[in-house]
Amino acid sequence: MSKPARHIVNALTPLRRGLHLQLPTAMALVEQPLSPRTWHHKRLLHGFLRSLFARPMPKQSLVQKQPETVDTTTSAPPDNTPSSTVSDQPLMAGRLQGMTPDPRMKIPSSDDAVEDMLLWSPDHGIDHDMVRFPTTRKPDKSRVWRLEGYTSDGESIQLHYKRDRTLEFRWSVSMSKLYLRDICQCSKCISPSSGQKTFSTCDIAGVPRLRDPDSESIKLSVDGDLEITWEDDFLTGGKHISTYPLDLLTRVETFDGRLYSSPQPSRIFWNSAKFRANVESRLVSYSDWMDGGREFARAVADLYRYGLVFMRGVPESRYAVQEIAEKIGNLQSTFHGLTWDVISKPESENLAYANESLCLQQDLLYCSNVPKVQILHCLENGREGGDSLFSDGLRTAYELIVKDPRSYEVLSNQMIGFHYDKEGHYYWMDRRVIQSKPCGSPFGVAWSPPFQGPFRFSSHRKPLKSRKGHEKRRVESMFQGWSKAARAFRDGVESPENMIQYRLQPGDCVIFDNTRILHGRTRFDGTGGRRHLRGAYIDNQTLRSAFIGLYEKDLLMPEGITKESWRKEKEKSQSRLDPASHQP
């Protein structure tokens, strides 16, 4: 291992527990050669380490957190909502051993450290893995690699790419003949009407054969496209010509075989102050949504960025929620049906139908395919109370990384069950409260106390004595450790600093990310008027398909960006395919 790489790995070692990073993964990242596949992750790793060393913490210092003043007139939580009681913790940077703080540096508060954590998150800024090829259109060939030659052996073809800039750069990749034959896009292999393959990969017996010499079977066009003529082809019985456009070859090589990428905006992990600061931009009118134009695209982008969008001016119709959902795509059907009603009634079969306060939670975590988007349309709300509560679960997850890394580790590793057993429906699914990526950053949460199933027996048994008679270990049982970590997560999401309160009026609609945003409700008066909401769900694939469609129409762009400037930004993203541009 090189000396710089060893220093990086040594620096990461005391952070593995708090960051949920695996040491072999870190070693692999720093030892990998520079390439389009690993450069983005390597840059994130180095940037995070630089942020740690730039503002170190004394080993024993504690940061005193000052309570934030909350405007209780607009978003006060209900009386039964617990406030945050997170104890003072040393920052993660203070866990690095043998570090001396720079006297010129200001020691950051816990909130500063959380914001720094969000800055190096893979979800912050443009997700280049998602926007390099944001549409199915061919990119400008002058801005990507050109295919200038090839060499062939018995089982594979090595393609040689070239890019002309101030200096010449070259890049070579090897593809098997079996793989190239399998991805042929001609009308005989892909049905023009259905877009589906007409054969199975296992129909290709052995290595596809080329004419000898290979130079008569492989040709390069002026644009760098590849044409291969196969002999004794399994599909035609004779010759078969396959044409591979340059952008197809580049995509399957750079993105590990993924022909299409789903473009998504960067996500913003908000607390109540950040959300209120720009709340008007999170509003969309019903007419603009149904128009399907740029305002609709902006609202869909905000649904991914913030996870929460409000709509006004919805007509009083039981079919309005279905019409709103169908602007994104098909509705997700559950045992509740395509659409469903939330009507207050006594002795209800679901807590959502009662007049008691509803704790922050997510829907249908006991199902294997959890709905991505939930839509709630308010038809009536004539009772006192019943305000809606929302909190960003991913924001709290990032706060735990900084303030309570032990709880983050427990919640991102320990599986718990969610179940539903009512009226002939039986569902059970094990999930982690915090789902994290291999690099350690969280991408989803699962929190629904009313539907949490019982722990397995082994989770709450007391630790046994050692067979050798040694002193009994004083360790927390798995159940006790999870309960403590879950309490820290609950206090975080229900903190007034992280939760917003909003009263839905008739004609209002709220759309939110059910895999990220926790929703609840304050208690309301059981007498008097009527409270009636209608809801619907949309799955994740439908939302991703909507993103691609909006990018195809050039409707989904960052705010304040023109079509021309966005086109240039996409071309810059495509130019990041160039490994030479990442040379130090």
Res 459: pLDDT: 52
In a shared domain, residues 220 and 254? yes
Give the DSSP letter of residue 231.
E
The reply to whether 193 falls in a domain is: yes
Q: How many CB atoms lie within 10 A of CB 42?
A: 18
The reply to whether 56 falls in a domain is: yes
Give the DSSP letter of residue 393.
H
Residue that is last in its domain, among 132, 150, 178: 132
Cα dihedral sign, 113-281-292-390: positive
**pLDDT band, residue 568 (cuts 50/70/90):** low
> pLDDT for 447-473, tens place per residue?
999 899 887 655 555 554 444 444 344
* Through-space distance between the first and last CA atoms of the chain, rounded to whole angstroms: 19
Write phi, then psi, for 463 (nearest 5 degrees). Answer: -65, 140
Can you tell me the distance from the alpha carbon of 473 to that of 391, in angstroms, rounded to the nearest whole number?
39
Pick 205 or 154 by higher pLDDT: 205
In a shared domain, residues 72 and 34? yes
Res 398: pLDDT: 92
The reply to whether 423 falls in a domain is: yes
Write phi, then psi, for 198 (nearest 5 degrees). Answer: -100, 5
Assigned token pair, 321:
């929620």
Name the strand (E) or helix (H) holding 430: strand 425-432
Q: How many CB atoms lie within 10 A of CB 16?
A: 15
CATH number at residue 320: 3.60.130.10
In a shared domain, residues 83 and 37? yes
Average pLDDT, integer, range 308-333: 94
**pLDDT band, residue 151 (cuts 50/70/90):** confident
Residue 514 in this model has a pLDDT that exceeds 90: yes
What rounded mean pLDDT belongs to the chain? 71
Closest CA to 386 of 105, 97, 78: 78
In a shared domain, residues 426 and 399? yes
192: exposed, middle or buried (Cβ count in 10 Å: 0-12, 13-18, 19+): exposed
Res 146: pLDDT: 64
Average pLDDT, integer, range 493-509: 92
Name the strand (E) or helix (H) holding 487: helix 478-493
Residue that is last in its domain, among 259, 291, 313: 259
Give every CB contact of residue 57 below 8 A, 6+ residues apart in sequence: 90, 91, 93, 94, 99, 101, 107
Residue 570 in this model has a pLDDT that exceeds 70: no
The reply to whether 270 falls in a domain is: no
Three-class DSSP category at 147:
strand
In a shared domain, residues 422 and 509? yes
Pick 38 or 502 by higher pLDDT: 502
In a shared domain, residues 125 and 177? no
The reply to whether 468 falls in a domain is: no
> pLDDT for 27-38, tens place per residue?
444 444 444 334
Can you tell me the distance from the alpha carbon of 395 to that of 251, in angstroms, rounded to the nearest whole number?
33
Res 207: pLDDT: 87
> pLDDT for 261-274, tens place per residue?
555 677 889 999 98
**pLDDT band, residue 354 (cuts 50/70/90):** low
In a shared domain, residues 218 and 309? no
Pick 123 or 550 by higher pLDDT: 550
My answer on whether omega of the bond before 405 falls inside 30° of 0, hence cis, is no
Can you tell me the distance from the alpha carbon of 514 to that of 220, in angstroms, rounded to the nearest whole number?
49
Res 526: pLDDT: 65
The reply to whether 353 falls in a domain is: yes
Question: How far is residue 437 CA from its own chain's centroid?
Answer: 9
Res 118: pLDDT: 67
Is 0.85 surpassed by the pTM of this model?
no
Can you tell me the distance from the alpha carbon of 421 to that of 452, in angstroms, rounded to the nearest whole number?
12
Can you tell me the distance from the alpha carbon of 496 to that of 72, in angstroms, rounded to the nearest whole number?
9
Angstrom distances, CA of residue 486 to CA of 260, 309, 357, 416, 489: 38, 27, 20, 11, 5
Average pLDDT, integer, range 35-42: 43
With a pLDDT cut of 70, the percent of the chain lying above it is: 58
Write phi, then psi, for 138 (nearest 5 degrees). Answer: -75, 135
In a shared domain, residues 536 and 561? yes
Can you tell me the distance from the alpha carbon of 51 to that of 568, in angstroms, rounded to the nearest whole number?
30
In a shared domain, residues 105 and 186? no
Res 210: pLDDT: 84
> pLDDT for 363-410, tens place per residue?
999 999 999 999 999 998 877 777 899 999 999 999 999 899 999 999
Residue 10 in this model has a pLDDT that exceeds 90: no
Residue 164 in this model has a pLDDT that exceeds 70: no
Can you tell me the distance from the alpha carbon of 365 to that of 347, in angstroms, rounded to the nearest whole number?
23
Residue 57 in this model has a pLDDT that exceeds 70: no
Closest CA to 208 of 245, 248, 180, 249: 180
Residues of the domain holding 80: 3-132
In a shared domain, residues 545 and 581? yes
Cβ 435 vs Cβ 442: under 8 Å = yes
Can you tell me the distance from the alpha carbon of 82 to that of 90, in angstroms, rounded to the nearest whole number?
24
Each residue of 126-148: b (16+ CB within 10 Å) or e?
A: bbbbbbbbbbeeebebeebbbbe
Res 407: pLDDT: 92
Cα dihedral sign, 495-499-500-501: negative
CATH number at residue 230: 3.30.2020.30
Residue 542 in this model has a pLDDT that exceeds 60: yes
Question: How far is residue 131 CA from its own chain's centroid?
Answer: 14
Instruction: Indicate the number of domains in the chain.
Output: 3
Residue that is last in its domain, among 88, 112, 132: 132
Pick 11 or 250 by higher pLDDT: 250
In a shared domain, residues 174 and 154? yes
Res 276: pLDDT: 85
Give the DSSP letter of residue 183.
T
Cβ 446 vs Cβ 435: under 8 Å = yes
Residue 579 in this model has a pLDDT that exceeds 50: no
The reply to whether 196 falls in a domain is: yes
In a shared domain, residues 357 and 216? no
Cβ 362 vs Cβ 514: under 8 Å = yes
**pLDDT band, residue 284 (cuts 50/70/90):** very high
Q: Which amino acid is at 339?
A: T
Res 94: pLDDT: 28
Q: Judging by DSSP bridges, how do beta strands 308-312 and 283-285 pair with one another?
A: parallel
Residue 348 in this model has a pLDDT that exceeds 80: no
Residue reference for tokens 């003072």: 88
459 DSSP β-pair partners: none
Residue 476 in this model has a pLDDT that exceeds 70: no
**pLDDT band, residue 221 (cuts 50/70/90):** confident
With a pLDDT cut of 90, the percent of the chain lying above it is: 30
Residue 321 in this model has a pLDDT that exceeds 90: yes
